[in-house]
Amino acid sequence: MPVRVIGLSGSPHRHGNTERLLDAFLAGAEEGGGDVEKVVLKDLSYTPCRGCNACHKTGECIVRDDAIPLFDRILSSDCLAVASPIYSMGITAELKGLIDRAQFLWARKFILKTMYFSDDHVRRHKGIFISTAGLSWDNVFDAAFPAVTAFFNTLGFEYYDNIIANNMDQYGGIQGHPTALAEARKKGLSVVGVIRKLKGDS
Ligand SMILES: Cc1cc2nc3c(=O)[nH]c(=O)nc-3n(C[C@H](O)[C@H](O)[C@H](O)COP(=O)(O)O)c2cc1C
């Protein structure tokens, strides 16, 4: 059984610091034998959540756009890597917009109780948050973590690890960082091995 890895690139800036960090992670995952897919959110067409709450009754989102098939692909993945640069001390609009659109899955889980992830399922599904920031502040990623936690929780992924690099302004971009790209590649390789073992396919 292949280990399916999906990476969501939430930066509007193509091939910038964050997407390159995601690419390094995905390259490592592929090297480890993972079946890898990258999705560039800015190239998809989806609207923010309307807050109509129809999903609280039906478990379905009434807005039929690119977000819906993407959630199918995410739910059939073993590893979900979510990448966003820090914008105004949080995640980008592209990523937050998608996270909010998962509300119909949240409704299935917590209101309708038609969807359930066992502890074992969650343990076998790993979520990784990938981010870069311009500032050197230690707390620059802090506002991003809760939204990412909520996303992984709704989708049945264990929040497994962060791959984060601050101080991009001083480093002159991710290529100037001494360890981040190599660390991302190593973590991609490693997580696929961990998941394969958990799936009993070592
Ligand atoms: C609109 C915007 C807002 C930003 N806000 C912050 C911020 O609040 N804190 C910070 O450390 N860096 C901030 N940055 C810098 C980016 O986080 C940083 O340059 C990042 O590495 C860009 O990643 P990218 O190349 O993938 O777009 C901001 C950049 C932009 C374009």
112-144 confidence digits (pLDDT tens): 999 999 999 999 999 999 999 999 999 999 999
The answer to whether residue 1 scores a pLDDT higher than 90 is no
**Of all atoms in ligand 1, which is nearest to the CA of residue 18?**
26
Give the ranges where the chain is alpha helix by DSSP (H): 17-31, 55-58, 67-75, 93-101, 103-107, 119-124, 145-155, 168-171, 180-198
The answer to whether residue 202 scores a pLDDT higher than 60 is no
> How many residues does the structure list for the chain?
202
- The residue extents of the domains of the chain are 4-198
Centre of ligand 1 to C-alpha 25, Å, is 20
Question: Atom 29 in ligand 1: which residue has the minimum CA distance?
Answer: 87
Binding-site residues, ligand 1, Cβ < 6 A: 11, 13, 16-19, 85-89, 132-135, 140, 168
Pocket test for ligand 1, best of 14, 25, 86 (most atoms within 8 A of CB): 86
Q: How does residue 181 score in pLDDT terms, banded at 50, 70 and 90?
A: very high
Arithmetic mean of pLDDT, 39-61: 98
Q: Are 181 and 21 in contact (CB under 8 A)?
A: yes
> What CATH number labels 4-198?
3.40.50.360
Return the amino acid letter for 151.
F
